[in-house]
Chains A and B, each alone.
Chain A
Amino acid sequence: QITLKESGPTLVKPTQTLTLTCTFSGFSLDSSKEGVGWIRQPPGKALEWLALIYWDDDKRYSPSLSSRLTITKDASKNQVVLTLTNMDPVDTATYYCAHRRPYILTGYYSDYFDYWGQGTLVTVSS
């Protein structure tokens, strides 16, 4: 049974750096093909993918936020950490981490997010 849970501050001030931790169980980020992603959702708005880290420490970032994002993993602690610098009120959102499930289609690997954390609401306000 895979579970994930996000933790971090619920309120940050503008210009501060947000650090969120995803603590998971039921899989190992040391294992081939595993990965964890971060997705956020502003209140009443759509989902937005932020970053993903693979078992081999390869990383992917949203092009629109790449200069502000860092994703790291600590496989021994079963944790993935996301940092987002220079927070702004528009970054107010529920932040989710999710498990990446790979699959093969027509000989190519792709993936989807099959298990999600409950999400954590982060408000940016002075």
Chain B
Amino acid sequence: DIQMTQSPSSLSASVGDRVTITCRASQNIGSFLNWYQQKPGRAPKVLIYGASSLESGVPSRFSGSGSGTDFTLTITTLQPEDFATYYCQQTDGFSWTFGQGTKVEVK
């Protein structure tokens, strides 16, 4: 099984900050990495697919990068609505694996 490890598990930030979340796969997954945002009591929402492609309707302050085993989600200018938990997710076509999540909290 491919394991996904996110860091940090949580972070405190202020509106306007640049935020970076990392995700590491236990083996090479190419660029098959997706990022989701989840707010309390809500279903997850996809932000990025294919490591760096922005899902339609998602603000451009969100970006993704990386390939192989190391990936990054960046929020360039944190907005009030961005305080949430973020998950990375991979698939190799046989199983789908989520990271443990990164909670972005108000500083």
Binding site for B on A (CB under 8 A): 37, 39, 46-49, 52, 60, 62-64, 96, 98, 101, 103, 105-106, 108-114, 116-119
Q: Is the Cβ of A63 less than 8 Å from the Cβ of B31?
A: no
Q: Is B44 an interface residue (CB 8 A)?
A: yes
Asked, given contacts A46-B101, A118-B43, whether A112 binds B34 with beta carbons under 8 Å apart, the answer is yes
Q: CB-CB < 8 A to B36: which residues of A?
A: 47, 113
**A105–B31 CA distance with the chains assembled, in angstroms:** 8
**A78–B92 CA distance with the chains assembled, in angstroms:** 26
**A47–B55 CA distance with the chains assembled, in angstroms:** 20
A49, A101, A117: the one within 8 Å of B96 (CB): A49
Asked, given contacts A114-B55, A118-B43, whether A49 binds B50 with beta carbons under 8 Å apart, the answer is no
Q: CB-CB < 8 A to A52: which residues of B?
A: 96
A64, A103, A116: the one within 8 Å of B44 (CB): A116
Q: Is the Cβ of A60 less than 8 Å from the Cβ of B30?
A: no
Q: Is the Cβ of A111 less than 8 Å from the Cβ of B43?
A: no
Asked, given contacts A46-B87, A47-B44, A47-B87, whether A110 binds B50 with beta carbons under 8 Å apart, the answer is yes
Q: CB-CB < 8 A to B94: which residues of A?
A: 60
Listed A/B pairs (22) with beta-carbon separation below 8 Å: A37-B96, A46-B100, A47-B36, A47-B38, A47-B44, A48-B98, A49-B95, A60-B94, A63-B95, A103-B49, A103-B53, A105-B50, A106-B30, A106-B31, A110-B32, A110-B50, A111-B91, A113-B34, A113-B36, A113-B46, A116-B44, A118-B43
